[in-house]
Amino acid sequence: MRKIFNFVDGTIVSGGNASLGDVFDPNLGQVQAQVCFADQALVDAAVASAKAAQPGWAELNPQRRARIMFNLRVLIEDNMDELAHLLSSEHGKVIADAKGDIQRGLDVIEFVCGVPHLIKGAFTEGAGPGIDVFSMRQPLGVAAGITPFNFPAMIPLWMLAPAIACGNAFILKPSERDPSLGVRLAELALEAGLPAGILNVVHGGKDVVDALLDHSDIAAVSFVGSSDIAHAVYARGAAAGKRMQCMGGAKNHGIVLPDADMEQTVADIMGAAFGSAGERCMALPVVVPVGASTATDLRERLISAIASLRVGISTDSEAHYGPVISAAHKTRVENYIQMGVDEGAELVVDGRGFSLQGHEEGYFLGPTLFDQVTPAMRSYQEEIFGPVLQIVRAETLDEAISLATNHQYGNGVSLFTRNGAAARQFASIVQVGMVGINVPIPVPVSYHSFGGWKRSGFGDLNQYGEDSIKFFTRTKTVTQRWPSGDAVSDQGFVMPTMR
């Protein structure tokens, strides 16, 4: 059986004395590989390797670091088909979606190829008599990233690309459910010219996460996962004195006004709600039609569109989405569907019981649609993370905005309308971190930044964009004076000023 190893100091290594974990093929419901979990000694070795390699990497001028990042971008593009099939085989998302996963990571690599400009400091000549002030951005040292199963390429690249480009070494702990891609990316980085030790990959569960959070030589940790775990990780890492960036769950709303282009809106909602089997923190699991006639029209259109969806294996080029990640997750989603029924929501389309011929043991769920969902329902309040779409009706735009604003999560929200004034009002007042106007999945481009509010994000700095440069560096400010002549200052005993 295939084994998935750790990657430390530029070499494939086993997990020491730690255990093995099963990696399933979600299309078949069968074990396809085993991942070698790291033990404490191997985590320590990975950090030691990173710590030893980092100073030399940081001394390399940023232009040369950028060239290596550009080489990595080329290698990932050249190996796109291999990477997409590897990703799909472990996650279950269809090949086209897997390539999108990789491409959004490539976008961030492209952004950090501009690192010579991004880490430039500031300079003030003549801040005082004979005094100049300048600042510089310097790397932190060793950083770590703990990534979820749903984006095995994109989120690791969101973290490691800016961290490494800024001169840090990086320890990646990918999800144990689909771990192969993290190792393959590390191999490609080595091929691109990255020195051994700058990117290490260790596998494992909570014990490995805790080892990284507690390690005194790790200066910063970036995390993506569920909100409860994100909060716990943030607290533990911050208590250890680390810089922390932890992204949590979501319950994104799509608000539909009566004047929306309904045909385009339905197409957008379908892809956002059911793409990748709903396993995205930026999925659109709640749609809020404003007004009774809008709700009636939208509901009928959604029913019709759902009937045309194709659920298939990840290599089916005509499938809209594939299986969910695991048997346990399939059961979890099915339990939420039953919860909605028990709470009194109207189950319009039931995705339970879906079976794909020849893949009966695969982790497949058909699309599910609820109507008459209310804010008091637990199935609305919590993140389902599956192919389930809920209709929550509102009478006014203000009521719809309050739904998104008052929800415990504040990751993303979208408004579908032709009314520019309404869109402007909406974008200004809704209390959510990422906003789309006629854009169903408002993930910002790589030179802005990604991050939610409330329980969707813990920490002051977002992922990628300029925030990532700030997160993975620290500012040093130098005030210098080169006196001229023999004059001696008499201000030594008072607070210095620039007058």
**Total-model pTM:** 0.95
Please check the confidence at residue 207 and state whether its pLDDT lies above 80: yes
**Which contacts of 334-338 are long-range, i.e. CB under 8 A and separated by 24 or more positions?**
334/365, 336/379, 336/382, 336/384, 336/386, 336/388, 337/368, 337/388
Question: What digits encode the pLDDT tens for the residues 64-122?
Answer: 999 999 999 999 999 999 999 999 999 999 999 999 999 999 999 999 999 999 999 99
Same domain, 257 and 244: no
Same domain, 120 and 178: yes
Same domain, 463 and 415: no
Same domain, 45 and 29: yes
Instruction: Read off the pLDDT band of 481 (50, 70, 90).
Output: very high
Instruction: Read off the pLDDT band of 495 (50, 70, 90).
Output: confident
Among this protein's residues, is 36 annotated catalytic? Answer: no
The CATH number linked to 111 is 3.40.605.10
Both tokens of 31, joined, read: 């074990």
Same domain, 223 and 290: no
Answer whether residue 491 is part of any domain: no
**In the predicted model, what is the mean pLDDT of residues 456-460?**
96
The CATH number linked to 322 is 3.40.309.10
Same domain, 8 and 65: yes
Same domain, 68 and 151: yes
Answer whether residue 277 is part of any domain: yes
Number of domains in the chain: 2
Answer whether residue 182 is part of any domain: yes
Same domain, 119 and 152: yes
Same domain, 380 and 465: no
Same domain, 220 and 330: no
Q: Active site residue: 36, 113, 246, 281, which one?
A: 281
Mean pLDDT of the chain: 96
Domain that holds residue 133: 2-248+456-478
Same domain, 97 and 168: yes
Question: What digits encode the pLDDT tens for the residues 161-186?
Answer: 999 999 999 999 999 999 999 999 99
Answer whether residue 442 is part of any domain: no
Q: What is the pLDDT of residue 492?
A: 67
Question: What digits encode the pLDDT tens for the residues 348-403?
Answer: 999 999 999 999 999 999 999 999 999 999 999 999 999 999 999 999 999 999 99
Q: What is the pLDDT of residue 27?
A: 98
Q: What is the pLDDT of residue 483?
A: 79
Same domain, 39 and 188: yes
**In the predicted model, what is the mean pLDDT of residues 251-275?**
98
Answer whether residue 449 is part of any domain: no
Q: What is the pLDDT of residue 241?
A: 96
Lowest-pLDDT range of 16-25, 364-373, 426-435, 469-478: 16-25
Answer whether residue 448 is part of any domain: no
